[in-house]
Structure 1
Amino acid sequence: MIDWMRVNELVDEIGAEDFDEVVELFLMEVDHAIGLLEEGASNPVVVEEQLHFLKGAALNLGFETMAQLCNKGEKAAAARRPDVVSAEEVRQIYASSRAQFERELPKRLAA
């Protein structure tokens, strides 16, 4: 669900002191984008744009399973099928990924 190698790379790239700020910004932006996805669920352009954004954000922070789901939905929306992946599915995978991330991150950073 989480690509911990990517998380470690990001910590190395930006430094441990700035990592918390990046995570906080990620969480705020993802919550906002999922809201926009819910609002525009019937519009293929909005769905494609928001899923593209969410995919990139997820990949940046190592939320691999979420990125895969967003990629699937983005491609479907580009093919005028915005209902293949719902905002609720994205919200659920985000919530479970976030829970795992928050639960395991302290142990992994301490190692």
Structure 2
Amino acid sequence: MKELQREIGEEDFAEVAAMFLDEMAEALAGLCNATGHAGSDAFHGLRGSALNLGFADFAAACAEAEKLASEGQAVDTDHLNWLYRESVKAFGTDLPAAAA
């Protein structure tokens, strides 16, 4: 997260972080409400956003979900959703108020 903050600047970071968080929350909501197996692309996108914010554990879980999905296996999206929320909580004090 600090690297992203340095790259785009303090002023724009809150907006960009909020965008990543909104996109991840929306994607997860869609995955949790979907019936059937999700494609690996959905988890790939989540992984990229998670890495940009420094959510290492969530990114690792998304990488595993991406692998499972590419093999046609089911993914525990409820666990991913929980891990996302825990990641936001863990980084909450480092995230700008507009993003958290």
Higher helix share: 1
Same fold judged by TM-score > 0.5?
yes
Verify the 8 A CA contact 2:31 2:38 in the aligned structure 1: no
- CA drift of 1:39 comes to 3.0
Give TM-score scaled by structure 1 length.
0.79
Identity of aligned residues (%): 35
Root-mean-square deviation (CA), in Å? 1.4
Stretches of structure 1 that go unaligned for 5 or more consecutive residues are: 1-6, 107-111
Q: Which runs of 4+ in 1 moved over 2 A?
A: none
Instruction: Report matched runs for 1:24-103 at 5 Å.
Output: 24-45=18-39, 48-81=40-73, 83=74, 85-103=75-93
- CA drift of 1:41 comes to 4.8
Give, in whole Å, the separation in 2 of the partners of 1:94 and 1:54.
Answer: 10
Deviations, residues 80-100 of structure 1 (Å, cap 9, x unaligned): 11x2x3111111111111001
Give, in whole Å, the separation in 1 of the partners of 2:22 and 2:69.
Answer: 24
- 2:18 paired with 1:9: no
Aligned length: 95
Give TM-score scaled by structure 2 length.
0.87
Stretches of structure 2 that go unaligned for 5 or more consecutive residues are: 96-100
Verify the 8 A CA contact 2:51 2:59 in the aligned structure 1: yes
Q: Tell me: higher relative CO, structure 1 or 2? Use CA pairs within 8 A at least 6 residues apart.
A: 2
Considering only CA atoms, is the larger Rg found in Structure 1 or Structure 2? 1
